[in-house]
Amino acid sequence: MLRYNAFFQGLKTSLPIMAGYLPVGFAFGVAAEGAEVGTVYALFISVFIYAGASQFALVGLLKDGVPIISAALITVVLNIRHFFYGPGISGETEEFKLSQRLITSFGLTDEVFSVAFSKIRGIPVESRYWWLIGLEVGAYSCWVCSTVAGSIGGKTLLNYYSFLGQALSFALPALFFSLLLSILRKGRRLSVFIALGVASTFHWNGQSEIGIIAAALIGPISGMIWLRR
Q: Are 180 and 192 in contact (CB under 8 A)?
A: yes
Q: How far is CA 227 from CA 49, 62, 185, 189, 224, in A?
A: 36, 45, 11, 11, 5
131 pLDDT above the threshold of 90? yes
State which of 99-113, 181-195, 210-224 shows the largest mean pLDDT. 99-113
Alpha-carbon dihedral of residues 67, 68, 73, 74, nearest 10 degrees?
70
C-alpha to C-alpha distance for 127 and 209, rounded to whole angstroms: 40
pLDDT the model gives residue 171: 56
